[in-house]
Structure 1
Amino acid sequence: MTVVGYAPGAYDMFHIGHLNILRRASQECDRLVAGVVSDEVVLKAKGKLPIIPFDERLEIVRSVRFVHEAVPDLHLDKFDSWLHIGFDVLFKGDDWRGTERAERLEAALGEVGARVVYFPYTMHTSSTALRKLISVPS
């Protein structure tokens, strides 16, 4: 059986933390699909727009050798992404673990036989930290 993994993210200002998640995710599945979150969903989730345009973020992620396919992610609720892709494992940074949204998603995915795997969040390099460093208004 082929294990399909899904790694959603904004992938704004692509950095080593993004690469680490995609590398680790590719080691945990047979086929890795990366969902590049649309500007509208990023705005709903984080309250700010990405710096890098969507089409460029999608092309960057599509070019990463660990990724078998990069697709637009138009869903705030990642269970809706599961309905469209049908992945077996969703990969997220562990900064998301324990949140109300994460617990709801874990339960919903569990009901359909999928699961969530968390990887260590790269604290020293994040899009939020880069945004502060270069003084881009939120």
Structure 2
Amino acid sequence: MKTIITYGTFDLFHIGHVNLLRRARDLGDRLIVGVSTDEFNLVEKSKTTIVPYEHRVKVLESCRYVDLVIPECSWQQKVEDIQKYSVNTFVMGNDWQGKFDELKSQCSVVYLERTRDISSTSIKQAMAVLLQLNRELQ
């Protein structure tokens, strides 16, 4: 059995997330997704999420491409997770190109192309613009 692992925040679940998960799952037989906790996002990534961790986990658990969801609590846990779950391939979006190459001593590392013109950040920015326009119209 070939096990794949990926990590992310998965805030405002969108088609880019679906594409990443589908393409990651196509690389093996089992897909594990590490979901960044709210605390990890705030402390280590300096960002807040709109959707709480527990809700993001439930959304990912309902996705047919995902076999197991685990919490991502630190940058350092990746090696431990790769060993614990006998991971063959570590997958991330190509916006992280080269950032996890040190994991190549543990497993194969693949950077998948991101879906064009979609990201949680761009959705949040569009929502902020719409909220501002709505305020101005009132």
What TM-score, normalized by structure 1, do the two folds share? 0.84
Distance 2:2 2:96 in 1: 23
Q: Does 1:121 align with 2:114?
A: yes
Structure 2 distance, partners of 1:14, 1:4, is 23
The Cα shift of 1:47 comes to 1.4
**Superposition deviation, residue 133 in structure 1:** 0.6
User: Shift in Å at residue 43 of structure 1?
Assistant: 2.1
**Deviation at 1:80?**
4.0
Aligned equivalents of 1:127, 1:22: Cα separation in 2: 15
Q: Which runs of 5+ in 1 are unaligned?
A: none
Separation in 2, partners of 1:73, 1:85: 14
Alpha-carbon distance in 2 for matches of 1:45, 1:3: 30
Within the candidate set 119, 128, 138, 1:135 is matched to 128
Between the two proteins, the alignment pairs up a number of residues equal to 128
Unpaired segments ≥5 residues, structure 2: 130-138
- Structure 2 CA distance for partners of 1:48 and 1:92, relative to 1, 3 Å: same
Distance in 2 separating the partners of 1:6 and 1:130 = 25
Look at both structures and tell me which one has the larger radius of gyration over its CA atoms: 2
Q: For 1:46, what is the secondary structure of its paired residue?
A: coil
Relative to structure 1, the CA distance from residue 82 to residue 34 in structure 2 (aligned partners, 3 Å threshold; closer, same or farther) is: same
Q: CA deviation at 1:81?
A: 3.3
- Is it true that 1:81 corresponds to 2:76 in the alignment? no
* Cα deviation 1:75-109 (Å, max 9, x = unaligned): 223334324433111111001103xxx1xx322x2
Partner of 2:133: none
Identity of aligned residues (%): 34
Give the structure-2-normalised TM-score: 0.84
